[in-house]
Amino acid sequence: MTTSVTTDVPAAGSAAARDRGDAGPRGSDYALLSREVKRAGLLTRRPGYYTVKIVSNLVLLAAGWAAFALVGPSWWQLLVAVFLAVAFTQTAFLGHDAGHQQISGSKRVNELLGRLHGNLLVGLSYGWWISKHNRHHAHPNQIDRDPDVATGAIIFTRESVRARHGPGVWLARHQAWLFFPMLLLEGFHLHLASVRALFGGNATAREPGRTRLAEGGLLLAHIGGYLTALFWVLPPLQAVGFLLLQQGLFGLYLGCSFAPNHKGMPMLGRNDKTDYLRRQVTTARNIRGGRITDFALGGLNYQIEHHLFPSMPRPNLRRAQALVRAFSDQHGVAYCETSLLQSYAQALRHLHAVGGPLRPELEY
């Protein structure tokens, strides 16, 4: 494998410079691809698209909460909970786009939109997520450097097996079967991680001064407003049922949108020096589909193009795919695209194989 350039650039912070082709020597493969993309106008902002997208999404959220108020105390509220789980996820997708500076040419505007969509409307800390997500983009699927494959409830490498003990052994043995059920807890985990990051759990993710204060205020406004609405309108049992279903499906939908992107793709060693273009392309997976898939997955189905050009507006990713794929084929870079179901199967096979050493010999 040739190595043209090695870069460790955060996804959101320096994305604009990297997307312009400044991420390596003038003759590097990535610089050549970047110039082609720029000439095609694919890095140009799409304010009209995002205006319509943000307004329509706000209408969906308002409609969901209006239906909640109109239905009142009733188990029919569970249908509203399903609707709001989808609306919350679509809102999180917009926060993701803002975090990558896709929406506006102004960093301040993007950060404002990110905090409103993340902290206020969904209840997730924008600052904490940016810190974590930037490290993922800089080192996708790289052991000890990508937080998305760090050892936790799920393990992604055979090396992590040795650290398992007690209940963790049983969990690792069955993690392929438990993966999707565990995503029902992902929404709760994200809320908890956001609160801990802003109010004392993770000092490295804290925002300084007034920014952190603003984030904390928006997050508390969401949590307070959400819980007040539930327990003011609904009797306790229905309120708890609504909360569990809405947040559970929110986590499941969000997890199912991110899981196909890298799970089951090649893992890179701690000291891997693969160049930027190959690191981003070979560790990512695209999902085939049309406009419905684009909407349902928030553009994350073009994961390769998104990782190569994080600040590229979401609607331009579809147009960039043919160019990136042709370039990858020309330079002998493995480009993976599959169906959504096949991507889940590949991810689950990987999780099953990782947990293999912990299963009885006959089963394994």
146 in Cβ contact with 135 (< 8 Å):
yes
Mean pLDDT, rounded, of the chain: 89
Q: 80 to each of 21, 223, 264, how far by Cα in Å?
A: 46, 18, 34
Q: Nearest 5°: phi and psi at 332? A: 70, 35
Distance CA 349, CA 344 (A): 9
Structure tokens at 303: 């994961």
Distance CA 295, CA 315 (A): 10
| β-sheet bridge partners, residue 222 | none
HSE (side-chain half, CA atoms, 13 Å) at 301:
20
Residue 364: which pLDDT band, with cuts at 50, 70 and 90? very low
pLDDT digits (tens, 9 = 90+) for 316-342: 999 999 999 999 999 999 999 999 999
Structure tokens at 62: 């308002």
> For residue 350, which of 293, 291, 267, 239 has the smallest C-alpha distance?
267
190 in Cβ contact with 89 (< 8 Å):
no
Distance CA 223, CA 200 (A): 17
Residue 3: which pLDDT band, with cuts at 50, 70 and 90? very low
* Structure confidence at residue 361 (pLDDT): 55
Stretch among 21-25, 29-33, 166-170, 347-351 having the lowest mean pLDDT: 21-25
* Structure confidence at residue 163 (pLDDT): 75
Residue 166: which pLDDT band, with cuts at 50, 70 and 90? confident
* Structure confidence at residue 4 (pLDDT): 32
Confidence check: pLDDT of 72 > 90: yes
Confidence check: pLDDT of 68 > 80: yes
> For residue 358, which of 227, 200, 168, 77 has the smallest C-alpha distance?
168
- Taking residues 5-33, what's their average pLDDT? 54
Fill in the DSSP letter of residue 337.
Answer: E
> pTM of the entire structure?
0.89
Confidence check: pLDDT of 196 > 50: yes
Nearest 5 degrees, angle CA 209-CA 211-CA 215?
Answer: 120
| Residue labelled with tokens 């979401």 | 314
% of the chain at pLDDT higher than 70: 89
Higher per-residue pLDDT: 217 or 162: 217
Cβ-based burial of 356 (10 A; exposed 0-12, middle 13-18, buried ≥19): middle
Confidence check: pLDDT of 155 > 50: yes
Residue 223, SS3?
Answer: helix
Confidence check: pLDDT of 261 > 60: yes
* Structure confidence at residue 169 (pLDDT): 86
> For residue 150, which of 307, 13, 270, 15 has the smallest C-alpha distance?
270
